[in-house]
Amino acid sequence: MLGLGLAAALLGVIGGGSSGPAPTRYEVTAELLLANDGKVYACYAYSQSFPPTACGGIEVLGMDLSQIRSVEGYPSGGQGSPPQRLVGTWDGQALTLTEPPHPAEKALGLPLPCQQELGFEGAPGMPLMAQVVHDWEALRARGIDMLETMPCDSTTVGIVLVAADDQAVAWLTGHYRPIKVVGWLRPLPSGP
């Protein structure tokens, strides 16, 4: 009886506090925009207005823009920062910071899923490209957030996702072929 109690206690200590694997941490280098609604966004592209009032990007939680040096205030009420390296977890809606932002030399923008051949002029009427674009909102409803699509060649479509996690990539490659997928958020190795 004592042996079973000791074994149970040992198992409780080993498994105590563990709720499964830690969420994947991602990094991205981007300029930040504090929008008029009070939300902070990591931006890969800006609206055509100047000063910018919106951007293409993702919401960032746990961010205090007043802690960033060289933030520029806009007459529209928004604020923008120089490029920052951000590290956090992605829940499909927002990047929640797990460490403070750090200044970066430049924003990296979106990665290219493929390199087009010199002289490639696109693939007008490409059925796969049309299908992926048509399914954009349905994919978003599945939790697959596309930021950009592009023809790689006359048959292959390149897709940039917010986060190219294994589940999203597996679903996309199982439904669309041939494709090349990359993520804007870069996964960091797990561990301390």
Residues 98 and 131 in one domain: no
Q: What is the pLDDT of residues 143-189, one digit of tens each?
A: 999 999 998 888 899 999 999 999 999 999 999 999 999 999 999 98
Residues 88 and 41 in one domain: yes
Q: How many domains does the chain have?
A: 2
Residues 31 and 80 in one domain: yes
Owning domain of residue 63 = 25-103
* Residue 27: closest CA among 104, 121, 115: 104
The amino acid at 100: P
Is 37 domain-assigned?
yes
Of 88, 103, 118, the one marking the end of a domain is 103
Residues 82 and 149 in one domain: no
Instruction: Give the pTM.
Output: 0.80
Q: Please, what is the end-to-end C-alpha distance for the chain in angstroms?
A: 38
Q: What is the pLDDT of residues 71-105, one digit of tens each?
A: 777 766 677 889 999 999 999 899 999 999 999 99
